[in-house]
């Protein structure tokens, strides 16, 4: 009797265990389905859409590395008391004309960035083309945690035309 009961018990246990496994498997299958769906969505996003291009793809990155990162650093955080950070709203996220002029004319005046005072000298970079300036400024406006509107070649051309030092 005990023996039979034992068998019956293990049958129930197995049945239950088996039941649980099936639901678990089903759930895993469901999560995987969702994952696949998500991947599909990502893949269908057009890669030539600039709004979804990653920062590393932006053409201004190379110009930044060549002409700006020596002072403002690869991470845009600058050097305390010397080169101001490019992670800021007032200059990088501020007026486009003023920002374009910083690159065209350089800057040599006491300024405050994120509450810190700087009084260094940044040389003019007017040897860069309108396109290069637009690209590098778009890059900094979308990197290091910044997220501001792009700057176009036409906007730079316009500022250069009216540029008074
Ligand atoms: C020789 C070092 C040096 C280089 C190279 C340099 N900068 Fe600067 N930059 C400075 C300094 C110093 C200041 C602050 C000048 C002042 O206080 O008047 C500054 C200020 C700025 C500002 C305004 C303040 C801020 O932090 O937002 C921007 C924007 C800027 N630089 C962008 C650039 C870009 C873009 C490049 C590359 C095209 C570049 N800089 C290259 C040293 C440099």
Nearest-atom index, ligand 1, CA of 140: 35
Structure tokens at 162: 């009216």
Count the Cβ atoms, other than its own, within 10 Å of residue 131.
15
Q: How far apart are CA 57 and CA 51, in angstroms?
A: 11
What pLDDT shows up at residue 121? 97
Collapsed DSSP state (helix, strand, coil) of residue 15: helix
Q: How far apart are CA 148 and CA 162, in angstroms?
A: 24
pTM of the model: 0.74
Q: Which stretch of 25-29, 91-95, 145-149 has the lowest confidence by average pLDDT?
A: 25-29
Cβ–ligand 1 contact at 61 (below 6 Å) = no
Q: What is the CATH number of domain 58-161?
A: 1.10.760.10
Cβ–ligand 1 contact at 109 (below 6 Å) = yes
DSSP letter string over 43-103? HHS-TT-GGG--GGG-THHHHHHHHTHHHH-TTS--BTTTB--S--TTTTSS-HHHHHHHH
Say how many CA atoms lie within 13 Å of 127 toward its Cβ.
Answer: 4
Nearest-atom index, ligand 1, CA of 63: 38
CB-based contact 134:155 (threshold 8 Å): yes
Residue 74 has pLDDT above 80, yes or no: yes
- The 10s digit of each residue's pLDDT in 28-71 is 455 455 554 544 444 444 444 444 557 667 899 999 999 999 99
């Amino acid at each position: 009797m005990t023996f039979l009961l034992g068998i019956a018990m293990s049958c129930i246990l197995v049945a239950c265990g088996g039941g649980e496994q099936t639901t678990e498997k089903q759930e895993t299958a469901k999560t995987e389905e969702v994952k696949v769906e998500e991947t599909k969505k990502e893949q269908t996003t057009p890669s030539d859409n600039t709004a979804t291009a990653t920062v590393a793809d932006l053409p201004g990155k190379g110009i930044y590395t060549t002409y700006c990162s020596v002072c403002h650093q690869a991470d845009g955080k600058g050097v305390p008391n010397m080169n101001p950070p490019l992670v800021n709203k007032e200059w990088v996220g501020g007026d486009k004309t003023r920002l374009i002029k910083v690159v065209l004319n350089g800057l040599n005046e006491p300024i405050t960035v994120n509450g810190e005072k700087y009084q260094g000298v940044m040389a003019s970079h007017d040897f860069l083309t309108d396109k290069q300036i637009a690209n590098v400024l778009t890059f900094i406006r979308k990197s290091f945690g910044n997220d501001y509107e792009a700057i176009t070649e036409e906007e730079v051309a316009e500022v250069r035309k009216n540029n008074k030092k």
